[in-house]
Amino acid sequence: MNSTHLLRLFRYRFFLFAGGLPYLLGAACAHYELGVFSLNYFLIGLAGIVFSVIGVETFNEYFDAFYGTDRIFSLQPKEKAKTFILSAGIISFFLALAVAVLLVKLRGLPVMAFAFGGFLAAAFYEGPPIRWAYLGLGETMIFLAYGPWMTMGSFYVQAQTVTFTSFLASLVPGLLVWALALANEIPDVYQDRLAGKKNLIVRFGPQRGCFFYHLAALLALLILSLGAAGGVFPKISLAALPSWLFILKRLPQAKETCGHPKLFVPNVRAIMLCYLTTAAIFTLSFLF
């Protein structure tokens, strides 16, 4: 297997955008609000995040091939699901579990609640017997996993408690990842419909889906703004607001192209850039 395939398989970019930043945010928030930070606990938890993300991406890769959902419109023969990919995912989840058990021993039983929630979202997003993406709950699990569960879980690892600030902060990346998930589904709407997925885009159509993901991004903007204005977040976190220009400048094109998968792809990149820059600046604001 070449390095290009490995990069595609593990989707490190997704880890950096969706997995790493909410975890960093939780730790930064704990340092800002309670003045606590342990590098050892941080690195142990980060290892668990890495294993979890590898697990979910390998599971998705395997079950996409197993059910043929990623090749519905392909003229090439159906690609056989590779068992070593499934094995890699199972091993990754076992390693993530080992990290969770270690953190439970070091920081307390509530760590397992956050870890178990993340596992349910990750392992069964496309995997049986639950298959969240086929029940219409895939986006909800993404929001919870990459918002409250990951951010507040990271906060708890550092502080052994959770606070209103950590909860409110977790909604910002959670809503933006939710928006990113919706935008990413729009180009695949016809394939997903034929595959039997019941995500929001399949159920409500690309036009309404476009409205939903813009609304989610707007809610994240409002929470960040109100939190900073109310003194819950540092004032400097308002520096993240220009990140929404990535979405706003493409707003007319998004509405015009949401029914044309290839033409809509730049809008996916726009919300991804919005998420990346917002989450990065928002996280850094808690360190100053």
How far apart are alpha carbons 121 and 123 in whole angstroms? Answer: 6
Please state the rounded mean pLDDT for residues 209-214.
91
What is the full DSSP assignment across 29-95?
A: HHHHHH----HHHHHHHHHHHHHHHHHHHHHHHHHHHHHTTT-TT-SSPPPPPPHHHHHHHHHHHHH
Q: Which long-range contacts (CB under 8 A, 24 or more apart) does 75-78 make?
A: none
Q: Residue holding tokens 């928006």?
A: 179
End-to-end CA distance of the chain: 44
How far apart are alpha carbons 243 and 273 in whole angstroms? Answer: 8
pLDDT value of position 68: 67
For residue 255, tell me if it sits in a domain. yes
User: Is pLDDT of 13 > 60?
Assistant: no
For residue 1, tell me if it sits in a domain. no
- Which position has the higher pLDDT, 85 or 150? 150
Amino acid present at 77: P
For residue 20, tell me if it sits in a domain. yes
Please state the rounded mean pLDDT for residues 247-264.
85
pLDDT confidence tier of residue 107, bands split at 50, 70 and 90: very high
Report how many domains make up the chain: 1
- What CATH number is given to the structural domain containing 24? 1.10.600
Domain of residue 55: give its range: 8-285
SS3 of 136, please? Answer: coil
Spell out the alpha helix ranges (H) of 145-260: 150-159, 164-185, 189-195, 200-229, 245-248, 251-257
How far apart are alpha carbons 42 and 40 in whole angstroms? Answer: 5
User: Is pLDDT of 2 > 50?
Assistant: no
SS3 of 161, please? Answer: coil
Average pLDDT, the chain: 86
User: Is pLDDT of 218 > 90?
Assistant: yes
How many Cβ atoms from other residues are within 10 Å of residue 173's Cβ?
Answer: 30
For residue 214, tell me if it sits in a domain. yes
Lookup: tokens for 197: 């997925």
Lookup: tokens for 273: 């850039």
Residues in the chain: 288
99: CB partners within 8 A, 6+ apart = 44, 45, 47, 48, 51
For residue 2, tell me if it sits in a domain. no
Please state the rounded mean pLDDT for residues 143-164.
95
Please state the rounded mean pLDDT for residues 78-103.
86
User: Which tens digit of pLDDT belongs to each residue from 47-78?
Assistant: 999 898 888 888 877 887 777 665 555 545 55
How far apart are alpha carbons 168 and 234 in whole angstroms? Answer: 13
pLDDT value of position 11: 46
Most confident option among 2-16, 73-87, 218-232, 265-279: 218-232
- Which position has the higher pLDDT, 67 or 199? 199
